[in-house]
Amino acid sequence: MEQLMRDFFLFLSKNKTLTKLAKQYGLRFGASRFVAGETIDDAVRVIRQLNEKGLAVTVDYLGEFVDNEREANEMARHCLEAIEAISREKLNSQLSLKMTSMGLDISDDLVMRNMRRILDVAKQRGVFVTIDMEDYSRCQKTLDIFKQLKKEYDNVGTVLQAYLYRTEKDIEDLKSYRPNLRLVKGAYKESPEVAFPEKKDVDENFKKIIKQHLLNGNYTAVATHDDAIIEYTKQLVKEYNIPNSQFEFQMLYGIRPERQIELVREGYTMRVYVPYGTDWYGYFMRRLAERPANVAFVLKGIIRK
């Protein structure tokens, strides 16, 4: 039943008509629990509140289905606006972005031009930028572009997904670049030909790649809401005397906020992924697909209204 629900919400997340309706309809039906708002001002307000609690942030202007140059350039403009706001407001925040929204599916020239525009300004403002990983079909291209950009910029990292068979090899392949990587389980529906279909296998691989990347001596962001993975990481760093300055935990805005605060109190860097923007629908559907508890929360919100 849980798998059916997951597949249903992942199917909905890719529906362009529903995405369009959601943009018109606004942040209702519980989406505001997971999305900071539609404007950079909304995001700044949320980031400041989180910073006051000792939480670091990475902010993401949401955008999906970008299929023309004008939209890609507009998405890049929003990223530049976010970087300027982080700098101006002296916020403890990084920037996350998806390269499809920068023109990845349109042309190499366009995506590289937009990425360099963003990274140039981010470097001047002292803002770190993480390139989110998307579905498997874009994985190799994303890593190829990351390698090119890493040769030019220090302030860029990317994401690897534990559910992909290839990830262990990717970590070794990236080792010489001294990459700052966010490690995640993975939230897209992928074929069993490329991804572990069973949760227990994903969890085991997640532990394996956390250990691999940390022992390579590289900065590791462990992005999880799973207590077993959090505890595994704590024990691992203790066993190998890895300093807290070499890793951090990351969670999504609106999910397990009390646990986030606990980790700060325990002395760990805890970074919250804060999305904002009008194109929130696909992101919201993937959050519902991940956790049945999120669906229950949203249904309660609808009934209350």
Averaged pLDDT for residues 21-36: 64
- Segment 40-65 mean pLDDT: 94
Q: Sorting pLDDT into bands at 50, 70 and 90, what band is 221?
A: very high
What tokens were used for 137? 């079909």
Reported pTM: 0.87
Residue from 60, 105, 132, 170 carrying the catalytic annotation: 132
CA distance 292 to 1: 10
End-to-end CA separation in angstroms for the chain:
27
Taking Cα atoms as reference points, which of 88, 148, 141, 83 lies closest to residue 117?
83
Q: Per residue in 247-296, pLDDT tens? A: 999 999 988 999 999 999 999 999 999 999 887 777 777 776 665 554 55
Give the pLDDT confidence score for residue 51 in this predicted structure: 98
Mean of pLDDT over the chain: 88
Query: Smallest Cα–Cα separation from 61: which of 280, 210, 263, 250?
Result: 280
For residues 137 and 190, what is the distance between their CA atoms, to the nearest angstrom? 10
| 170 tagged catalytic | no
What pLDDT is recorded for position 300? 45
Which DSSP letter does residue 184 get?
Answer: E
Phi-psi region of 207 (alpha: psi -120 to 50; beta: other; left: phi over 0): alpha
> In angstroms, what is the C-alpha Rg of the chain?
18
Q: What is the pLDDT of residue 299?
A: 44
What are the structural domain ranges in the chain? 36-279
Q: For CA atoms 209, 214, 220, 226, give the dihedral sign.
A: positive
Pairing between β-strand 220-223 and β-strand 270-276 as defined by DSSP bridges: unpaired
Q: Single out the residue of 69, 53, 153 nearest to residue 110, CA to CA.
A: 69
Question: Catalytic: 132?
Answer: yes
Single out the catalytic residue among 60, 170, 182, 287.
182
pLDDT in tens, 151-161: 999 999 999 99
- Confirm if 129 and 162 have CB atoms less than 8 A apart: no
Q: Which CATH class is domain 36-279?
A: alpha beta
Q: What is the tens place of the pLDDT at every residue in 194-213?
A: 899 999 999 999 999 999 99
Cα–Cα distances (Å) from 300 to 30, 111, 130, 218, 303, in that order, read: 9, 41, 34, 42, 5
The single-letter DSSP state of residue 176 is G
Q: Per residue in 130-145, pLDDT tens? A: 999 999 999 999 999 9
24 pLDDT exceeds 70?
no
Percent of the chain with pLDDT over 70: 83
Are 185 and 163 in contact, with CB atoms under 8 Å apart? yes
How far is residue 189's CA from residue 191's CA, in Å, rounded to a whole number?
7
